Amino acid sequence: MVHWKINGIFKADPNKVYDEITSLGEKFTPEQIVEYARENKKSELNKCFEWSDKAAAKKYRIIQAQTIIRNIVVIKDVEEGDPDTGRVVVRAIISTNERTNEYEPIQRTVINQNSYNRLLAAAMDELQAFKKKYDTLAELSGIIAEIEALIAS
């Protein structure tokens, strides 16, 4: 049984959507999913898409803006950086909260205690998710142990 990661994000049954997607074959592309939904107007997948071109264009521009935000970075030259370049790449703008869809410059986040605590909590959540996802890989056991120790502290 599958679920939506965020309840209510789509007005479709996630199990039916999953079945429709996996019926496309062992491997599939986003383009194939859109095409299936377009051709099968009564499918669960069809319910997941905005079919009004005007509304879809506006939503796509918002996605483009989010992509812009995610791709503006600060590059720092430091000794502990990438072994090849000696640089650390950090996002210049980060999300303030997944639910509000607001962003702020990283410089503000690191000087504002509430924002910093929120970022730290998000980092810990991501470490926990990483641990759950890759816990079965023996090659990462050392990293997993470090994550467990960090989360426990």
Residues 4-58 pLDDT 10s = 988 888 999 999 999 999 999 999 999 999 999 999 999 999 999 999 999 999 9
Alpha-carbon distance 150 to 153, whole Å?
5
Provide the residue ranges of all domains of the chain, joining segments of one domain with +: 1-49, 51-91, 107-153
CB 88 within 8 A of CB 80: yes
Q: Which amino acid, one-letter code, is at 85?
A: T
| Global pTM exceeds 0.75 | no
Alpha-carbon distance 34 to 93, whole Å?
31
Alpha-carbon distance 96 to 119, whole Å?
8
**Which pLDDT tens digit goes with each residue over 71-111?**
998 887 776 656 666 678 888 998 887 677 788 899 889 89
